Amino acid sequence: MIRQLGQFVFFQIQWWCCLLSASSPHYRYLFLFALVLAVYDVWRYFKIPRLWLLLVLIASLGLINDTLLMHLNILYFFDDSLLIIPPWLWVLWVCFGGWFLKADWINKNYLLMSLLGAIGGPLSYFAGFKLGAISFPQPLFVTMIILLIDWILLVLTITKLNGLWRK
């Protein structure tokens, strides 16, 4: 229980650092701190090449997913020149992948992961919206429904890949 709580707190620190670094120029240094934490996490826990590759796959899926949402005008990152999501969100996806792969007490349960994804995913973006890190060009209700469906599908895909990859 203590280990799971520690992993959750570690991910929350990473999450806050990434979001705050995007929300204000005064917090830009927090991006570097989140990056250092992500590199440390990968170095400390992902020594098995197979797990490292799975982490890269999860982060890549997140990057592709959010880039697609950006180009579909569901998410906006305050920079019209972006072709893909901003770097703080890349790091956040690596951090999420690290948390997910270490959360072996939950990451094999499709129903529970779907529920957590359906709630946690959209709420995470909503928090980013409230902090000023992202904007929602579409009405809030529509965006939240799209993110809910998106996160259920994304978490189910990641959970399935995790199960297949670790066999």
CA distance 66 to 46: 24
**Quick one: CA dihedral 120, 77, 88, 62, positive or negative?**
positive
Which string of DSSP letters, residue by residue, matches 119-156? HHHHHHHHHHHHHTS-B-SS-HHHHHHHHHHHHHHHHH
Which stretch of DSSP H or E encloses residue 43? Answer: helix 29-45
How many other CB atoms are found less than 10 A from the CB of residue 8?
13
Show me where the domains of the chain are located.
2-165
Q: What does each of the 167 residues of the chain score in pLDDT, given as a tens digit?
A: 788 888 889 999 999 999 999 988 878 889 899 999 999 988 888 888 888 899 999 999 999 999 999 999 999 998 878 899 999 999 999 999 999 988 887 777 888 888 989 999 999 999 999 999 999 999 999 999 999 999 999 999 999 998 887 76
How large is the angle between the packed helices 49-71 and 87-102, nearest 10 degrees? 140
CA 135 → CA 40, 79, 114, 125, distances in Å? 30, 11, 25, 9
Tell me: the pLDDT tens digits for 100-133? 988 887 777 888 888 989 999 999 999 999 999 9
Structure pTM? Answer: 0.92
